[in-house]
């Protein structure tokens, strides 16, 4: 199949695409011409001229083939014992009601809708409702601060923001609506007023009476949506019409609006889900929902296959570290997809939390978000999976839409820590600094040759940045931003980001974003942020700061700087360490030498390398001394 997918991508993918419903078939000539990434302007297109609807394919199509009474979603609440389930029929009804409501308030094809919801059923419902009417959803992770949310609202100018009043994670309640209120005040000040904030009352976390309210703008979901009809006509959209925007971090302070379109994304997420998890119709699938994973492998990929999905609202250590396996037993989960950071944190709690549960339903395990270290891999395999479930270590990105390098369970021998081989249609290459492809056993920059159906099409409002970031660094290829090595058997080993992006617990954070938050503090003159190894989170944020002249460094200031970052980006981006620096190592042209800062942060002091090109080499000594304090 792989060979066919490379030799004849058009034939390979159109055969698969034909299993879906298309209102109108695509034009085979256009479609084969646009996978090329060798010459600009880059314009990737798949199934061009075809019209379809991903919500129709995920719901109506499965109902028409007799699966209406099958469970589509199980929802497990933060508190053990709180749960809800929805069949495909019921899910479609809920989606249609919201879709009708959105149409009623004037949301039209192409309009943006921002979704700031925690892991409630309403999150996939909201995405699917937008897709049904051709609106473009933009989910903002509910861990982002008001300022980050505002920044995204200002960029995509939504007609509506959909949120919940609060969420409970573990013992903590987070008042999401307050965050949204602040974001909306901010966006209005910047000339982007949002007229409607549809708020779901998550009464288990907070009663509506306690929620701050702005009459005229704020509407309770429960007061309006259930009044609408449970049937809603589908808006047929072009294969290349936008489906969603998802903001992600890059190497500048401004987040990138990754834009995915409809047809190729649909075919790709469905196919990768099916093969990388060896999906069978009897499977019960449970996944962590962060970010793009919640789009491709909680909502679209699984539902397009008619799968049953378990979504979990809470925290994996509440009420204790066995909660994940409690959920596995409760729902007889067969495929369990999670992240290395979670595996490492549970590993530390001891095996009893795992072995207490039977887990005998498990068949396939999955990992995503960062390279999985072999010891975490082995624990996941031996302890969680009782040495009988293959692990799909799926390498992919927000930009790729779906899995790119991943095992096919059982199809080839695994190596702990290797994502193994490319998925159908994907041609990974490793290039050297000059952009030359290197063969055999090697290590370098991971790029992809020719495009694939799930690839993003542009950065919203900034096609130039799209080309410069992804296609210019190594001419003729899509550049992933990751380092990779290939062993003598051809297995791929991802080695982490090679750009200015830090991966903290699978959250992608741009060093520039953290730096700009730090320097917004009136006493901080300059900041340089690097990633350091962290036992549980994979990487932690380490910030060097110089202060405004005359300001003394103090414990209070340290806390203040950290809280500035939490406030501007979100708690997940808080630095582990603030390192006061009277001066930063700079070249004579003023460029900060991060290579040196990385070594100082990780205390690899004998590997500082050449520091003679620095404008003032003595700052290095000074920094090392202060790092010990």
DSSP state for residue 226 in the 8-state scheme: G
Q: Please say which residue, 359 or 497, places its beta carbon nearer to ligand WT7.
A: 497
Q: What positions carry a catalytic annotation?
A: 499
Q: Please say which residue, 25 or 415, places its beta carbon nearer to ligand WT7.
A: 415
Report the SS3 class of residue 135. Answer: coil
Q: Does 248 bind ligand WT7 (CB under 6 A)?
A: yes
Q: Does 480 bind ligand WT7 (CB under 6 A)?
A: yes
CB of 249 to ligand WT7, least distance (A): 8
Q: Which of 398, 420, 458, 564 binds ligand WT7 (CB under 6 A)?
A: 398
Q: Does 418 bind ligand WT7 (CB under 6 A)?
A: no
CB of 98 to ligand WT7, least distance (A): 26
Task: Calculate the CA dihedral of residues 591, 595, 599, 600 and round it to 10 degrees.
Answer: 10
Q: Please say which residue, 122 or 399, places its beta carbon nearer to ligand WT7.
A: 399
Site string (377-396) toward ligand WT7, x via CB under 6 A: ----------------xxxx
Q: Which of 107, 198, 368, 389 binds ligand WT7 (CB under 6 A)?
A: 368
Q: 315 exposed, middle or buried (CB, 10 Å; 0-12, 13-18, 19+)?
A: middle
Site size with ligand WT7, rule: CB under 6 A: 25
Q: Please say which residue, 393 or 513, places its beta carbon nearer to ligand WT7.
A: 393
CB of 276 to ligand WT7, least distance (A): 11
CB of 303 to ligand WT7, least distance (A): 18
Q: Please say which residue, 239 or 394, places its beta carbon nearer to ligand WT7.
A: 394
Q: Does 371 bind ligand WT7 (CB under 6 A)?
A: yes
Dmax (CA) for the chain in angstroms is 73
Q: Does 451 bind ligand WT7 (CB under 6 A)?
A: no
Q: Does 262 bind ligand WT7 (CB under 6 A)?
A: no
Sole window of 137-145, 272-280, 285-293, 537-545 interacting with ligand WT7 (rule: CB under 6 A): 285-293
At 519, list the tokens: 């320097």
Distance, in Å, from the CA atom of 136 to the CA atom of 614, rounded to the nearest integer, reads 48
Strand boundaries in 157-288, DSSP class E: 160-164, 167-169, 172-174, 196-200, 218-220, 237-238, 242-248, 256-261, 284-287
With a CB cutoff of 8 Å and minimum separation 6, the contacts of 356 are: 322, 325
At 245, list the tokens: 């925007």
Report the SS3 class of residue 469. Answer: helix
Three-state SS for 410-454 is: CCCCCCCCCCECECCCCEEEEECCCCCEECCCEEEEEEEECCCCC
Asked if 276 and 394 touch (Cβ cutoff 8 Å), the reply is yes
Q: Does 240 bind ligand WT7 (CB under 6 A)?
A: no
Residues shown for the chain: 629
CB of 607 to ligand WT7, least distance (A): 23
CB of 372 to ligand WT7, least distance (A): 7
Report the SS3 class of residue 40. Answer: coil
Q: Does 513 bind ligand WT7 (CB under 6 A)?
A: no
Q: What DSSP assignment string belongs to 239-250?
A: TTSEEEEEEE--
Q: Does 506 bind ligand WT7 (CB under 6 A)?
A: yes
Q: Please say which residue, 495 or 523, places its beta carbon nearer to ligand WT7.
A: 495
Q: 479 exposed, middle or buried (CB, 10 Å; 0-12, 13-18, 19+)?
A: buried
Q: CA-based Rg of the chain, rounded to a whole angstrom?
A: 24
Q: How far apart are the first and last CA of the chain?
A: 58
DSSP state for residue 255 in the 8-state scheme: P
Q: Does 494 bind ligand WT7 (CB under 6 A)?
A: yes
Q: Does 272 bind ligand WT7 (CB under 6 A)?
A: no
CB of 111 to ligand WT7, least distance (A): 25
Q: Does 288 bind ligand WT7 (CB under 6 A)?
A: no
At 597, list the tokens: 């800062």
Q: Please say which residue, 494 or 623, places its beta carbon nearer to ligand WT7.
A: 494
Q: Does 295 bind ligand WT7 (CB under 6 A)?
A: no
Q: Does 482 bind ligand WT7 (CB under 6 A)?
A: yes
**Residues engaged in binding ligand WT7 (CB under 6 A):** 248, 291-293, 367-371, 393-398, 419, 480-482, 494, 496-497, 503, 506, 508
């Amino acid at each position: 199949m792989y060979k066919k997918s490379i030799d004849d991508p058009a034939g390979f993918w159109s055969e698969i695409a034909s299993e879906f419903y298309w209102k109108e078939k695509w034009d085979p000539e256009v479609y084969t011409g646009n996978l090329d990434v060798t010459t600009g302007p880059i314009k990737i297109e798949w199934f061009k001229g075809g019209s379809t609807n991903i919500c129709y394919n995920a719901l109506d199509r499965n109902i028409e083939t007799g699966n209406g009474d099958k469970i589509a979603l199980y929802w497990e609440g933060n508190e053990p014992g709180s749960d809800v389930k929805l069949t495909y029929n019921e899910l479609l009804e809920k989606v249609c009601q919201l879709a009708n409501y959105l149409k009623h308030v004037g949301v039209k094809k192409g309009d943006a809708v921002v979704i700031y919801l925690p892991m409630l059923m309403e999150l996939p419902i909201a995405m699917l409702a937008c897709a049904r009417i051709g609106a473009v959803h933009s989910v903002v992770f509910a861990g982002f601060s008001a300022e980050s949310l505002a920044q995204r609202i200002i960029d995509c100018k939504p007609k509506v923001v959909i949120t919940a009043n609060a969420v409970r994670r573990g013992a903590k309640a987070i008042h999401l609506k307050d965050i949204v209120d602040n974001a909306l005040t901010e966006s209005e000040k910047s000339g982007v007023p949002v007229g409607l904030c549809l708020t779901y009352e998550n009464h288990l976390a907070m009663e509506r009476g306690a929620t701050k309210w702005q009459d005229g703008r704020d509407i309770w979901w429960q007061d309006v949506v259930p009044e609408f009809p449970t049937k809603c006509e589908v808006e047929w959209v072009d294969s290349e019409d936008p489906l969603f925007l998802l903001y992600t971090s890059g190497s500048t302070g401004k987040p990138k609006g990754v834009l995915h379109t409809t047809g190729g994304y649909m075919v790709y997420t469905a196919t990768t889900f099916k093969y990388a998890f060896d999906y069978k119709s009897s499977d019960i699938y449970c996944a962590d929902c962060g970010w793009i994973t919640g789009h491709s492998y909680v909502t679209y990929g699984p539902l397009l296959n008619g799968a049953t999905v378990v979504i979990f609202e809470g925290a994996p250590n509440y009420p204790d570290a066995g909660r994940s396996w409690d959920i596995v037993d409760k729902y007889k989960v067969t495929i369990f997809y999670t992240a290395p950071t979670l595996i490492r944190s549970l590993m530390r709690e001891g095996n009893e939390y795992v072995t207490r549960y039977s887990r005998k339903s498990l068949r396939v395990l999955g990992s995503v978000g960062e390279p999985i270290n072999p010891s975490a891999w082995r624990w996941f395999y031996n302890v969680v999976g009782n040495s009988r479930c293959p692990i799909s270590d799926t390498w992919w990105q927000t930009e790729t839409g779906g899995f790119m390098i991943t095992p096919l369970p059982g199809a080839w021998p695994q190596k702990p820590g290797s994502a193994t081989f490319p998925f159908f249609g994907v041609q990974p290459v490793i290039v050297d600094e000059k952009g030359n492809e290197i063969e055999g056993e090697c290590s370098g920059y991971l790029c992809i040759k020719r495009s694939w159906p799930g690839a993003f099409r542009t950065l919203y409002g900034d096609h130039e940045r799209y080309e410069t970031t992804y296609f210019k660094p190594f001419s003729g290829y899509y550049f992933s931003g990751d380092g990779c090595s290939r062993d003598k058997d051809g297995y791929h080993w991802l080695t982490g980001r090679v750009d200015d992006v830090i991966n903290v617990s699978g959250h992608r954070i741009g060093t520039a974003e953290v730096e700009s938050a730090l320097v917004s503090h009136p006493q901080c003159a300059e900041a340089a942020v690097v990633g350091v190894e962290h036992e549980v989170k994979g990487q932690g944020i380490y910030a060097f700061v110089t202060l405004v002249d005359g300001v003394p460094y103090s414990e209070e200031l340290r806390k203040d700087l950290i809280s500035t970052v939490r406030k501007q980006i979100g708690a997940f981006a808080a630095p582990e360490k603030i390192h006061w620096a009277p001066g930063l190592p700079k070249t004579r042209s003023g460029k900060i030498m991060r290579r040196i800062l990385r070594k100082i942060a990780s205390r690899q002091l004998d590997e500082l390398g050449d520091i003679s090109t620095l404008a003032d080499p003595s700052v290095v000594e000074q920094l090392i001394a202060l790092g010990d304090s």
